[in-house]
Amino acid sequence: MSEDEIGILDLLRLKGFDPTKRVRLVRHQDARWDMQELLRRGWLETYQAFQARPVFDDLDSIVSFVGVGGTRARLEGVYDVLGREPSPTEPTLPPGMTIEFVAGAPYYYRLRRVDGFKDLENRVVIDWGTGTRSWVQRLRNKRVIEVLSAGQLLRPFTDYLGFTLTRTDLEYLGRDPEANREWRARLSAVAGVYLILDKTTGKQYVGSAHGVDGVWGRWMEYVRDGHGGNTRLRELMKCDPETYPAAFCYSILQILPRTATRSEVLKWERLYKEKLGSRAVGLNDN
């Protein structure tokens, strides 16, 4: 790191962090789980407390990060390590979190988030370096490469057809569009055909968006009421409110110019309904 670059320890020290203590840097990246989803659901701290090996023994604190692609890692928080004990046979988990997320972890660490770093949490992105498989490392002043806007928890927008948003993702977009300006701008710029997947059954709903705010405007209707006025989606929410709309996932099938007429957009919508059979075996009723 060059002299004119800022490191993570430089920022942490400004908030009162003591680097002389026994501290390790931790980067969470797990092929089994979406770390962003765990973070947004409030499950990451529980996931972090259960470990397959005694990796946090003899430490005073850990500085916790979440992998956000490549060698990038975003600061999640600083935690004091208060002690270790055997994992309980029936652990108390956050609402909605199942035992599979902590299965096979015989060690449970009592961790306490340290106050004073809130301005940096979920905002500071560092370059972890090439050793991403080494997820617990010695304390080093790793280079800060970006400071995100407050509330920006989604991965950067890259491509219209290259993402799927969970219900939690969509709610975050609607809750803080300013922090996710790129997502709002891109989704507002196009009309198109989209897919809502019920991930509990695999059934699909095909819809379309057109008009001034494009896909963004239509999806914000789902943020507000969960069903967007669709009969079948409303029925699912009424019959099983614990599962829906949380089980819905959102993606784009086809983008069109925002200037496309309603009839042009509906023509593409009908085509995808036929291709995917969403009337016969899915959630479309027209």
Strands 61-67 and 72-86: antiparallel
What is the rounded average pLDDT of the residues 158-172?
88
**pLDDT confidence tier of residue 153, bands split at 50, 70 and 90:** low
Structure tokens at 44: 């990451």
Would the pLDDT of 151 be above 70? Answer: no
pLDDT > 90 fraction of the chain, expressed in percent and rounded? 73
pLDDT digits 0-9 by tens, 47-98: 999 999 999 999 999 999 999 888 999 999 999 999 999 999 999 999 889 9
Q: Looking at this protein, which amino acid is placed at residue 2? A: S
Helices 167-175 and 214-225 pack at an angle, to 10 degrees, of: 110
Residue 268 near residue 250, CB atoms below 8 Å: no
285, amino acid identity = D
pLDDT tens profile 258-268: 999 999 999 99
- Cα dist. 278→42, 127, 218, 271 in Å? 33, 44, 19, 11
Place of tokens 């203590």: 21
- Which pLDDT score is estimated for 123? 86
Residue 136 has pLDDT above 90, yes or no: yes
Tens-digit pLDDT profile for residues 170-180:
988 888 787 78
Residues, the chain: 286
Binned at pLDDT 50, 70 and 90, residue 150 comes out as: low
Q: Are strands 23-28 and 61-67 parallel, antiparallel or unpaired?
A: parallel
Dihedral, CA of residue 262, residue 254, residue 241 and residue 247, to nearest 10 = 180
Contacting residues for 280 by C-beta, under 8 A, at least 6 apart: none
Looking at per-residue pLDDT, the higher value among 181 and 57 belongs to 57
Measure the CA–CA gap between 76 and 163, rounded to whole angstroms.
23
pLDDT beyond 70 at 222: yes
pLDDT for position 236: 95
Instruction: Return the higher-pLDDT residue of 253 and 156.
Output: 253
